[in-house]
Amino acid sequence: MTAIDAAKLTADLIRCPSVTPQEGGALVLLEALLSDAGFSCTRVDRGGISNLFARWGEKGHAQTFGFNGHTDVVPVGDEAAWSVDPFGAEEKDGILFGRGATDMKSGIAAFAAAAIDFVTNTPPDGAIVLTITGDEEGDALDGTTALLEYMDQENEQMTVCLVGEPTCPNEMGEMMKIGRRGSLTAYFTFTGVQGHSAYPHRANNPVPVMARLMDQFASHTLDDGTDHFDASTLAVVTMDTGNPATNVIPAECRATLNIRFNDAHSGASLTEWMRQTADQLSDQTGVGIDMDVKISGESFITPPGALSDLVAAAVEAETGRKPELSTSGGTSDARFVQHHCPVVEFGLVGKTMHQVDEQVPVAQIHQLKDIYSRILRDYFS
């Protein structure tokens, strides 16, 4: 079988307009390609989201290497601002353009191509599993979580897993992820008593209370970092009254904050801290404070060891750079996989992800396939 051209496969995937939650043909393409190579493929669609599970080799083998990634992409934004068709997969001067070029159709193409070539040319004593979702850029409720639940039900497993998200800030090979911070968003509603601004004593203004509480949160030092994580961060992202009148004290206002937290905290502990702080201020002022918290994921870490050593060695062999073991950045689907098996992340330089004219050097796609191929060879050797 002719080796799979990962750059061509990336271009084919870009031409599938798979903006969350649309499948766009990307998973159909991958399922056909993997099936032809001997992978057992199952669509695990749920809640209007398309997902693909593919396995080569014996079910439940003790040596099962897993790859995880997503074919869904964010919207293109202002299409007129693009210099190319966002779904045209145009190549210019060795650069491939298109939505998903970096995040992360190139990563999908690289690990699919590496896996197919590997099982075709040197069938291992073990199994390879690919879990590919169409719901990473969305709410992530029916994507990788659905795939993992399906695996539990069917007694499928991965011994270890590599997520192919972009991980390098500037140069190929400089960083891999061994964990991620947790993330939560808290929504506050403040309820006072409406009144005339000339007679503030007859009202109970919730706006100063909102400002005080948000300042208390923003001024608080959550921690100074831990062994593998930078300090947790808290950002107030909006404060709104919706009040167009200058002579009216509003009855209600709202504020939202986001916390990215390390392993010194949990979503529950931070929620309790915010609740107690808000209740105390509410008791002092008489302004009602309601809080709704959405926890997107808890912090986690895969301790440095066999898996991170395996990936780091392959990256250094192919790029000449020893990757930094990092927990920086936002969330990824690794937060779900970590409950199933040890997981790390390695992928391309992510400078243009989600941007207008998202792009990737073609040479980097081939290099990424080489890295993934070496990881498979070394794992099964």
Query: pTM value?
Result: 0.90
Q: Is 72 a catalytic residue?
A: yes
pLDDT in tens, 41-97: 999 999 999 999 999 999 999 999 999 999 999 999 999 999 999 999 999 999 999
Answer yes or no: is pLDDT of 1 > 70: no
Share the mean pLDDT of the chain. 97
From the candidates 117, 136, 165, 345, give the one annotated as an active-site residue.
136
Answer yes or no: is pLDDT of 299 > 90: yes
- 262 backbone φψ class: left, alpha, beta (φ>0; ψ -120 to 50): beta
pLDDT in tens, 313-328: 999 999 999 999 999 9
pLDDT in tens, 342-372: 999 999 999 999 999 999 999 999 999 999 9
pLDDT in tens, 157-216: 999 999 999 999 999 999 999 999 999 999 999 999 999 999 999 999 999 999 999 999
- What phi and psi values does residue 200 have, to the nearest 5 degrees? -60, -20
Q: Is 136 a catalytic residue?
A: yes
93: how many CB neighbours lie within 10 A of its CB?
6
118: how many CB neighbours lie within 10 A of its CB?
22
321: how many CB neighbours lie within 10 A of its CB?
15
Residues 290 and 297: their CA atoms lie apart, in Å, by: 22
- pLDDT score of 2: 82
Question: By C-alpha distance, which of 258, 64, 269, 263 is closest to 156?
Answer: 64
In sequence order, which residues have a C-beta less than 8 Å from that of residue 97 and are 6 or more positions away? 83, 84, 88, 89, 90, 91, 357, 358, 359
Q: Are residues 272 and 265 in contact, defined by beta-carbon separation less than 8 angstroms?
A: no
Domain assignments of the chain as residue spans, ordered by start: 6-180+300-380, 182-297
User: Fold identical between 6-180+300-380 and 182-297?
Assistant: no
- pLDDT score of 329: 85
- What phi and psi values does residue 64 have, to the nearest 5 degrees? -125, 115
pLDDT in tens, 269-278: 999 999 999 9
Joined together, the tokens standing for residue 27 give 């998973």
From the candidates 31, 72, 252, 318, give the one annotated as an active-site residue.
72
The fold adopted by the segment(s) 182-297 is Alpha-Beta Plaits (3.30.70)
Burial class (CB in 10 A: 0-12, 13-18, 19+), 182: buried
Architecture per CATH, domain 6-180+300-380, reads as 3-Layer(aba) Sandwich (3.40)
Q: Position of tokens 């009144």?
A: 195
The stretch 222-244 carries a mean pLDDT of 96
